[in-house]
Amino acid sequence: MIGIFGGTFDPVHYGHLRTVLDVREAAGLEQVRLVPLLGAVHRAQPATPANIRLAMAQAAVAGTAELVVDDRELSRGGQSFTYDTLVSLRRDQGGEKPLALILGADAFGGFLSWHRPLDILGLAHVIVMERPGHVLGAGGELGRLVADRRVADAAALAGSASGSVLPVEVTQLEISSTDIRARVAAGRSIRFLVPEPVERIIRQLGLYRA
Ligand code: ATP
């Protein structure tokens, strides 16, 4: 099963990379694809051009065979709806094989306000990166959706192509792209927060300077 992990990746950091590797191991995924978005739907547009965010993501995963970068949202153009991305992946891999969309618990909190959320669950399973002590989709409509679709382990995902929700606990790393951009703007170091090749691109291109 392939896992899909979308983001702005402005820049990609160890909070993205380590946690998706945790998900890969916990859920027995063959591969996780990092999918940089072009046109943000739920947030401000990234300041850094797409080709540079793509280059940083590619540099970050070079040499890690189980993580790859998928640029289909950049080549598609326009707004990057996850639904469209999953339709296109389904076209590539057929309708039968399971597919998993990986989301942070914060992103999952807003899942029902996404474009066609129930159709997304018709195309893929959803794996939510949980935080200890964080109740997944507590109460309300999202809580009911989780109660109906939650499975206890990764083996349960393999039995169908889509539609289940699996919480996975991941390494807790309080790293964000916002914080990295602020550190660079303040002239502070970002070493050990991002892979060295990403740090080099940021330095060479003078990204995020005040
Ligand atoms: P920004 O600070 O610019 O908002 P970000 O660090 O949150 O960026 P994004 O590229 O917007 O990074 O995030 C993509 C996905 O990665 C989201 O689902 C988000 O929940 C998840 N994510 C980001 N940082 C972490 C982290 N440290 N640990 C776990 N998940 C993370």
| Exposed / middle / buried, residue 15 (Cβ in 10 Å: 0-12, 13-18, 19+) | buried
| pLDDT in the model for residue 4 | 98
Q: Stretch 187-193: mean pLDDT, rounded?
A: 98
The tens digit of pLDDT for each residue in 125-162 reads 999 998 766 777 777 999 999 999 999 999 999 999 99
Ligand 1, atom 26: nearest CA belongs to which residue? 15
Per-residue confidence (pLDDT) for residue 106, from 0 to 100: 87
Pocket (CB within 6 angstroms of ligand 1): 7-10, 15-16, 19, 103-104, 106-107, 129, 173, 175-178
Catalogue the E-assigned strands of the chain.
2-7, 31-36, 67-69, 99-104, 125-130, 165-169
φ/ψ of 11, rounded to 5, equals -100, 170
Nearest-angstrom CA–CA distance, 177 and 104: 14
CA atoms in the 13 A half-sphere facing the CB of 14: 14
Asked whether 13 and 177 are in contact (CB, 8 A), the reply is yes
Please report the pLDDT score of residue 26 as a whole number.
95
Closest protein CA for atom 15 of ligand 1: 7
How far apart are the CA of 33 and the centre of ligand 1, in A? 15
Rounded to whole angstroms, how far apart are CA atoms 111 and 97?
23
pLDDT tens, residue by residue, 25-80: 999 999 999 999 998 988 889 999 999 999 999 999 999 999 999 999 999 999 99
Q: Give Cβ neighbours of residue 202 (< 8 Å, ≥ 6 apart).
A: 11, 56, 184, 190, 194, 208
Query: How far, in Å, CA of 144 to CA of 168, rounded?
Result: 19
Rounded to the nearest whole angstrom, what is the distance from the C-alpha of residue 14 to the centroid of ligand 1? 10
CA distances (Å), 58 to each of 77, 146, 195, 197, 208, in order? 19, 33, 11, 10, 19
